[in-house]
Chain A
C-alpha cells in the first residue's frame, strides 16, 4: 500500500509541470526584475549597469511623487469613506430577513466584471453632454461638469468608480463574518433593551474587528495595485491628475520609447511600498489579539 503512494516518478510528473510554469512566470521575472532595475536597458541596444540611477531618477520626478500621493489618496478614501460604508451596509443586510440573498447577490455584481469594461461604462455615464449624471444634475441647475477632463474632478470621479466596483465585494466578506457570529449575544442585548445602533456599535463591530482588519489590508493592497481603471478612464490625465504609481510605470516604461530598466525599478518600488505599508499596518492598527 505504501509503495503506491511512494512512487517518485508519479510524484515528479504531478509536481514538475506546475513548478516549471511557476518558476518561469513568478520566480524568474522576480529575479530578472531585480537585475534590470539597475540597468538602462531599453529593449534594443546594449545595456549597462547604472547602479541606483533609475531609483534616483524616479524619486526626483515630481510626477512620480504626485503619483505616490494619489495612491495614498486611494488608500485614504478606502479607509475613511469605503470601510465605514462597507460595515454599515453589511450590518444592514445582516439584520434584514427578507431579500437578504437578493441584496448580497446584487451588490457583489460589479466586483466580478472586467475593470476595463466598467471604466468604459462609467466613462459613458459621466459623459459631459449625454451622460445621465450631468443630465440629472442639470435638473438642479448644475452646470456641465467635465468629470474626466477637469483636473479637479477626474480623481474624485475615478475614486468613486473604483469604490463602486469593489465595495460590494467587501460587504459580502464582512456580511459572512457577521452571519457567522453566534446569534445569542445579539438576542440577549436586544432583550436588555439595546437599540439597533447600540448593538451594531458595541457588539457587532468589536466582534468583527479581525475581518475589518482584513478588509483594510486588502484595500491597501488593492490601492497599490490600482491601474486598469485609471488607464481606461483617464490614462493618468488630465495633466497627471489621476496618475498612480502603476500607471506612471506603464506610461513611462511602455510608451513609444520603452525603458525596461526604469520600468522594472518602478515596479520594485511599488512592491516595496506595498510590503512596507502592509507591515506598518500590521504592526500598528491591524494587530489583533490572537
Chain B
C-alpha cells in the first residue's frame, strides 16, 4: 500500500512526461529513417540504420542553413539591442535624479504591456511598408527589439532598484562620471537580470511567426518558423526530410535550455506574470 502510494505519483507523472516527449522522439527517429515507408510501417521503432543523408539534404538543398543563420542573427542582434536600450533606460529611470519625469516615463512605457502583439500587427505592417523596409531584416529587427522593451525595462528596473546606493556614491566620490558608473558598476551588478532578459527576448524573436510571415517574403531572408512552414509545404510528402528540419530548428533551443534551464524558466515566467 505504502509502496503503491509512493510510486503512483511517479507513474502518472512519467506518463505525462512521455506524452510531452513522445513527438520529439518520434521526429528524431523519423529524421534518421530512409523513407516514408520505414516511417509508416514501424512509426514507433528505432531506425534500422542511421540515415544521416537527410541532415545533409535538409541543411543545404532545403536551405535550412539559410533560415537557421537568419534566425540566429536576428534573434541575437535584437535581443542584444533590446537589453542594451532597456538597461540604459532602466538606469536613467531608477538611479538618476529625475524622479518625477522618470515615474511618468516608466508608467508610459509599461502601457505597452497591455497591448497584445497581434493587435498592432497590421498597423506595424503599414508602418514598415511606409518606412520602405518591408522585405528587409530591419522589418523584423525593429519590431522585435521594440516589442521586448516594456517587459525588459520592467524587469531590469526592478533589479536595479535593489542595488544599494552606497556603491555608486563611493564611485562618484572617486570621480566617476554617470556613463562610466553605468557600465563599470551598475551593468556588471545587473548581469543576472540582463542574462534573463536576453534569453527571454532571444526566444521570443527566435520563435516569432506572425510578423516574420508577412513582413518577409524573400526566401533567403526568412527565419526558421516561417522557413519551416515553406519547407513543409514544398516537401509535403518527404516526412523524413521534414522531421530533419524540425530537429534542426528545435535543437539549438534545447541545447540552450539544457545549460540555462533555471534562468530560462525564471525569465519566461517572470516576464509573463508581471506582464
Q: Mark A82-99, 1 if CB is under 8 A from B, else 0.
A: 000000010011011011
How far is A7 from B91 in the complex, measured between Cα atoms in Å?
Answer: 13
B149 interfacial by beta-carbon distance below 8 Å: yes
**Which B residues lie within 8 Å of A246 (CB)?**
118
- Residue of A22, A105, A271 touching B119 (CB-CB under 8 A): A271
**Which A residues lie within 8 Å of B5 (CB)?**
196
How far is A109 from B43 in the complex, measured between Cα atoms in Å?
Answer: 23
Interface of A, helix, strand, loop or mixed by DSSP: helix
Q: Mark B19-62, 1 if CB is under 8 A from A, else 0.
A: 11111101100100000100110011000000000000000000
Are B123 and A32 closer than 8 Å at their CB atoms?
A: yes
Are B261 and A25 closer than 8 Å at their CB atoms?
A: no
**Which B residues lie within 8 Å of A28 (CB)?**
123, 127
Are A22 and B207 closer than 8 Å at their CB atoms?
A: no
How far is A109 from B23 in the complex, measured between Cα atoms in Å?
Answer: 12
Distance to closest chain A CB from B178 (angstroms): 5
Distance to closest chain A CB from B108 (angstroms): 8
Are A22 and B109 closer than 8 Å at their CB atoms?
A: yes
Are B36 and A24 closer than 8 Å at their CB atoms?
A: no
Are A33 and B265 closer than 8 Å at their CB atoms?
A: no
A129 interfacial by beta-carbon distance below 8 Å: yes
**Which A residues lie within 8 Å of B210 (CB)?**
227-228, 231, 250
How far is A15 from B93 in the complex, measured between Cα atoms in Å?
Answer: 8
Are B112 and A22 closer than 8 Å at their CB atoms?
A: yes
How far is A95 from B9 in the complex, measured between Cα atoms in Å?
Answer: 8
Are A18 and B109 closer than 8 Å at their CB atoms?
A: yes
Q: Mark B101-144, 1 if CB is under 8 A from A, else 0.
A: 00001000101100111111111111101000000000000110
Distance to closest chain A CB from B110 (angstroms): 10
Are A21 and B122 closer than 8 Å at their CB atoms?
A: no
B228 interfacial by beta-carbon distance below 8 Å: yes
Give the most central of A117, A124, A228: most B CB within 10 Å: A117
**Which A residues lie within 8 Å of B149 (CB)?**
18, 21-22
Q: Decide yes or no: A1 and B86 within 8 Å by CB, A11-B92, A30-B120, A124-B239 being known contacts.
A: no
Are A117 and B179 closer than 8 Å at their CB atoms?
A: no
Are B124 and A232 closer than 8 Å at their CB atoms?
A: no
**Which A residues lie within 8 Å of B147 (CB)?**
25
A50 interfacial by beta-carbon distance below 8 Å: no
**Which B residues lie within 8 Å of A164 (CB)?**
19-20
> 10 tightest A-B contacts by CB?
A29-B123, A25-B146, A114-B207, A14-B92, A116-B225, A130-B40, A132-B43, A18-B89, A14-B88, A29-B120
A-B contacts, 25 listed (Cβ < 8 Å)? A1-B169, A4-B172, A14-B88, A17-B88, A18-B86, A18-B89, A22-B109, A22-B150, A25-B143, A26-B146, A98-B10, A103-B17, A109-B20, A112-B257, A121-B24, A121-B246, A123-B232, A125-B26, A131-B43, A132-B22, A218-B273, A249-B118, A250-B210, A260-B122, A260-B125
Q: Footprint of B on A, CB under 8 Å? A: 1-2, 4-8, 10-11, 13-15, 17-19, 21-22, 24-26, 28-30, 32-33, 36, 43, 89, 92-93, 95-96, 98-99, 102-117, 120-125, 127, 129-132, 135, 164, 168-169, 172-173, 176, 196, 214, 218, 221, 224-225, 227-228, 231-232, 246, 249-250, 253-254, 260, 263-264, 267-268, 270-271, 274
Q: Footprint of A on B, CB under 8 Å? A: 5, 9-10, 12-13, 16-17, 19-24, 26-27, 30, 36, 39-40, 43-44, 85-86, 88-89, 91-93, 95-98, 105, 109, 111-112, 115-127, 129, 142-143, 145-147, 149-150, 153, 168-169, 172-173, 176-179, 181-182, 203, 206-210, 213-214, 224-226, 228-229, 232, 239, 242-243, 245-246, 249-250, 253-254, 257, 261, 264-265, 268-269, 272-273
